[in-house]
Structure 1
Amino acid sequence: MKVAGLGFRKDVTLASLREALSAAGGSEGLAAVATVADKADAEALKQLARECGVPIRGIPADMLAGIDTPTQSKFVMEKFGAGSVAEAAALAAAGPRARLIATRVVSQDHTATAAIAEGDGA
């Protein structure tokens, strides 16, 4: 199963989420999109999930903490205990033996990040 993890600011647009997902490899073959649970109902994310025809998996923040990610954001580490929300959410949603196939990429306006993981599912 292939999952796109997305991290984003509160004011993110659908265009920024699309751009980040496209830069990470696109939506082809995705089984789900994932993000931290408290942002799973963001309108732009819901629109992106509908466009891609996939469900949204909200990952509790405490599940993201401690997930080792190849890229590191100091802000995200302090807030969530993981270096990248996008990478950690993708890995958590793709299952216990998941691996990243695309590390975090950032939209040009710096409001969205995306990463893609592949795994056996949760």
Structure 2
Amino acid sequence: MKVAGLGFRQDVTLASLREALAAAGGADGLAAMATVSDKADAEPLKQLARECGLPIKAIPADVLASIETPMQSKLVTEKFGTGSVAEAAALAAAGPRARLIATRAVSQDRTATAAIAEGDGP
């Protein structure tokens, strides 16, 4: 099961989310998209999920905080307790033995990040 994790700022656009996902490897073969719970209802994310025909998995912030990620953002660590929301969300949603197959990719405007993990599922 492959899952794309997405992290993004409140003012993100659909185009920025698309760009980050494409930079991480694209939507082909994905089973779902994942992000932190409080952002799962963001309209640009819902639009992208509809375009790709994928469900959105909302991951609680405390779950993300328990996941170590290769990429480390000081700002993200201070706010969420993990180095990358995109990487942590992808890993959490892909299952307990998940591994990253694409580390965090960032949109040019720096408002969106995406990472892809593969695992056995929840």
Normalised TM-score (structure 2): 0.99
Q: Which amino acid aligns with 2:65?
A: A
Q: How does 1:85-100 map to 2 (within 5 A)?
A: 85-100=85-100
Q: For structure 1, which runs of at least 5 residues remain unmatched after alignment?
A: none
Match in the other structure for 1:49: 49
Q: Please provide the CA RMSD for this pair.
A: 0.4
Secondary structure class of the residue paired with 1:26: coil
Matched residues in 2 for 1:7 and 1:109: separation?
A: 13
Q: For structure 2, which runs of at least 5 residues remain unmatched after alignment?
A: none
Aligned residues: 122
How far off its partner does 1:120 sit?
Answer: 0.5
Normalised TM-score (structure 1): 0.99
Match in the other structure for 2:39: 39
Secondary structure class of the residue paired with 2:58: strand
Percent of pairs with identical residues: 84
Matched residues in 2 for 1:11 and 1:30: separation?
A: 25
Secondary structure class of the residue paired with 1:109: coil
Matched residues in 2 for 1:51 and 1:119: separation?
A: 23
Secondary structure class of the residue paired with 1:91: helix
Moved runs in structure 1, 4+ residues, more than 4 A? none
Q: Which amino acid aligns with 2:79?
A: K
Match in the other structure for 1:67: 67
Q: 1:31-55 CA deviation, whole Å, 9 max, x = no partner? A: 0000000000000000000011010
Match in the other structure for 1:109: 109
Q: How does 1:16-35 map to 2 (within 5 A)?
A: 16-35=16-35
Match in the other structure for 1:118: 118
How far off its partner does 1:5 sit?
Answer: 0.1
How far off its partner does 1:3 sit?
Answer: 0.2
